[in-house]
Amino acid sequence: MGKGGKSHEEASIGEEENMAAWLVGLNTLKIQPFKLPPLGPRDVRVRMKAVGICGSDVHYLKTLRLADFVVKEPMVIGHECAGIIEEVGGEVKNLVPGDRVALEPGISCWRCDLCKEGRYNLCPEMKFFATPPVHGSLANQVVHPADLCFKLPDNVSLEEGAMCEPLSVGVHACRRANIGPGKNVLVMGAGPIGLVTMLAARAFGAPRIVVVDVDDNRLSVAKDLGADGVVKVSTNMQEFGDFDIAQLKDVPEEVERICKVMGAGVDVSFDCAGFNKTMSTALSATRAGGKVCLVGMGHSEMTVPLTPAAAREVDIIGIFRYKNTWPLCLEFLRSGKIDVKPLITHRYGFSQKEVEEAFETSARGGNAIKVMFNL
């Protein structure tokens, strides 16, 4: 089950009973005992203090699966997290008890070709918090490799440390797309990932950023966070069923509005939703020779107008999670180049009732952006 924890039957560390939020069935979460594995020489034991709810956590709760990952047995949920070191293994030199840390949730093998190339986020043996069958981090304590725990600067809170995980997605996307001064950016989708991608693009030097969404409230948040322009589009996305060209009937007019608001060519578009319509809009709005980065995964398969985009040499790139992002995220937070605090809209404690309410709030959407547990 990975470093995060093991089954009920294995012995726990210490006298205090460790508790965690277990996904035990469809739409069913229960706080139950969570036995920790022995502390390895290069591991640390961390008391969780801040854990955010991700869209993938909600998806597992609602469907017990995400893409090819299927929950087949009870699993501890959660992977956006920060806490305080309580114990360190004998070979750990860079951390001591009392240190506040943000945890990178994926443990790669470091032996495969992808790991050796530095692309460890693509490791086929990755053990990632709350990705079946690996347990997550919505628990009193977890055990994790020390080299995946990053000490927080004094002026960065534990909640901000937990936000390094979603922020890492935006940072990785900006690196993949080579965002810098002179690159005008379009962000499709103003959900949590769209918003952190917008913040990351600004920190990387993008001079002009336009955000597109179907929801007025989220567009207002994007504007407040620094978007240079926002565009509201129709909800005619046809998320389910077979593709029909009628889905795209609004795209030409919406692309025209996007380009008008941008006031210049769109150099890079980030599709942070991942639907037929959002990707089609991104491909059509991006200038010849530009890039489209697919970040969101709303559809497992998409039908989009590739031929016109190819004729304009629009490059399409994808991302999967992130790599080597925590140090830069923490520097952005420390320096004030990025402020993630406004994204945290709801806070809950760690009780059975509050866990259930928190996930309901996150699933409902509305004015909820990031729902955070304070343990």
- Please report where in the chains the tokens 């709303």 appear, as a residue: 298
Greatest pairwise CA separation for the chain in angstroms: 65
CATH number of the domain where residue 137 is located: 3.90.180.10
Of 286, 318, 350, the position where a domain reaches its end is 318
- Give domain status of residue 329, yes or no: no
How far apart CA 375 and CA 362 sit, in angstroms, is 18
- Are 277 and 139 part of one and the same domain? no
Q: How far is CA 131 from CA 4, 46, 295, 348, in A?
A: 11, 20, 18, 23
User: Has residue 249 been placed in a domain?
Assistant: yes
> Do 124 and 205 belong to one domain?
no
- Structure tokens, 198: 């917008």
CA angle 354, 166, 359 (to 5 degrees): 20
Residues 28 and 141 in one domain: yes
The DSSP secondary structure of 178-237, one letter per residue, reads T--TT--EEEE--SHHHHHHHHHHHHTT-S-EEEEES-HHHHHHHHHTT-SEEEE--S--
How high is the mean pLDDT in each 10-residue block of the chain (375 residues)? Answer: 43 69 97 96 98 96 91 97 98 97 98 97 97 97 98 98 98 98 97 97 98 96 97 71 56 96 97 94 97 91 91 97 98 98 97 98 93 98
Is residue 56 in a domain?
yes
Q: What is the per-residue pLDDT for 247?
A: 56
Whether 123 and 259 map to the same domain: the answer is no
Predicted confidence at residue 193, as pLDDT, reads 96
**Distance in angstroms (rounded) separating the CA atoms of residues 224 and 342:** 9
Residues 69 and 96 in one domain: yes
- Check whether residue 90 and residue 63 sit in a common domain: yes
Together in a domain, 294 and 177:
yes
Domain count, the chain: 2
What range does the domain containing 302 cover?
Answer: 169-237+245-318
Domain assignment present for residue 292? The answer is: yes
Do 309 and 209 lie in one domain? The reply is yes
> Would 160 be classed as within a structural domain?
no
pLDDT of residue 3: 52
Same domain as 126, residue 26: yes
In this structure, is residue 157 part of a structural domain? no
User: 48 with 141, same domain?
Assistant: yes
pLDDT number for residue 22: 98
Same domain flag for 45 and 90: yes
CATH number of the CATH domain containing 286: 3.40.50.720
